[in-house]
Amino acid sequence: MSESFWKRRYPLILIFLYLIVWVWAAINPLDRADWLLENYLIFAAIPVIAWSWMRFRLSNLSYTLIAIFLALHTIGSHTAYANAPIGFWIQDLFNLSRNHYDRVVHFSFGFLLAYPVREIFLRLANARGVWGLWFPVELTLAASALYEVLEWLVAANVDPAAGLAFLGSQGDVWDAQKDMALAGLGALIAMGVTAVIRAKKDGEYRAELVSSVRPRGLPLGEYALERFDKKAAQIVTKPLPARRKAVRMQR
């Protein structure tokens, strides 16, 4: 089979592999109520990813990063984040005070998803230079904060035991802030790596970074007022009937 065939079918292979992980996680999870709460994210994400594949196809690299993140999240839903075996292994290896699997996933949220978000900004908003690197970090921080708010609202309105398992704070009062900080750090690292690779491949990229932060034109407020003053002056100098017509056209 040709290389192009596998490139076209690659997202379908990722979906198949992810379904294996999801089915495994759905069989006898440690806490069924927590598993369901965690999977609301999956139920919302999969239709969006499927739509993107049909209407706004991303690169295979982006789909790979998304699939890895979803797999990490799904593994956490099977055991509840606070009881993830990988987290206990990390805890023993580094002699930590708690299971940090949830920290790993929040860091991965920024580190793995910043690149797909960058691809969207480049293609839809034509973001270039510094802005093609900064906007993914900014959106990651905003999405992470929104998730923490939703997490709080869900935990406050479900069974207390399921809510505590869903939060996964393990008694840390600064859990939400640390999760958001790790997501932002992951996005910063991902965009830093992207910038270095891009600069090595494209000799003009450094110039693009510099030119993207140079201001152009007048400040928006002054520019708008200047245009308004010119149009107002043109209207005033016209005869009354033409003046009324010009005002109606402005509306």
Measure CA 167 to chain center: 20
Tell me the pTM. 0.79
Sorted by where each begins, the domain ranges of the chain are 3-211, 220-250
- Taking only the tens place, the pLDDT of each residue in 144-195 is 999 888 877 877 776 666 666 566 666 667 778 888 999 999 999 999 999 9
Cβ burial 210-221 (10 Å sphere, 16+ → b, else e): eeeeeeeeeeee
Q: Is the dihedral of CA 68, 74, 78, 79 positive or negative?
A: positive
Q: What confidence score (pLDDT) does residue 109 get?
A: 94
Q: Which two tokens stand for residue 44?
A: 């919302």
- Taking only the tens place, the pLDDT of each residue in 177-191 is 888 999 999 999 999
Yes or no: say if 190 and 162 are a contact pair by the CB < 8 Å rule: no
Q: Which two tokens stand for residue 184?
A: 């932002």
Q: What residues in the chain have per-residue pLDDT under 50?
A: 235-238, 240, 243-244, 247
